[in-house]
Amino acid sequence: MQLADHFDVLLKDTVNLSQFKLETLETRVDAIYAAIAADATIGAMILGKTPQGSWAHRTIIQPQKGKEFDADFMLDMEENPDWSTSPKTYIDEVYYALKRHPKYGQMPLARKCRCVRV
């Protein structure tokens, strides 16, 4: 018997979010993605998005009641030759695009070494 045959029932109440939470997550990610793609500075460079980590593997741990959970997605972008000497510029520009947005600019944002946290 393979574990894959039982993936949908494995730790059902602990791992994997409910369908409602997954749909909410997708809606919020789509909104963030749309905000970045509409940015006048980097919007034309945006090519797509891809779920990453526990979201992609459907293993997000159910948060305790009233607590947050973490879900990651990769933002696919065109390469900018002017930024090749400093890849950190991509993170900075995504951060600035969110800061320029009327909704996300009012939220706490954090730059990390490989991501922007909303």
- pLDDT band for position 2 (50/70/90)? low
Residue 77 Ramachandran class (φ > 0 left, ψ -120 to 50 alpha, else beta): beta
| Cα distance between residue 48 and residue 118, in whole Å | 18
pTM to 2 decimal places: 0.84
Q: Which two tokens stand for residue 53?
A: 């980590």
- As a whole number, the mean pLDDT across the chain is 88
Instruction: Give the pLDDT confidence of 14-64 residue by residue, as tens digits.
Output: 667 888 888 999 999 999 999 999 999 999 999 999 999 989 988 888 888
pLDDT > 70 in the chain, percent: 87
Nearest alpha-carbon partner for 78 in 38, 112, 42 = 42
Residue pair 46/75 in contact by the 8 Å Cβ criterion: yes
Identify the pLDDT of residue 19. Answer: 85
| Residue 103 pLDDT | 97
Domain ranges, ordered by start, for the chain: 3-117
How many residues would you count in the chain? Answer: 118
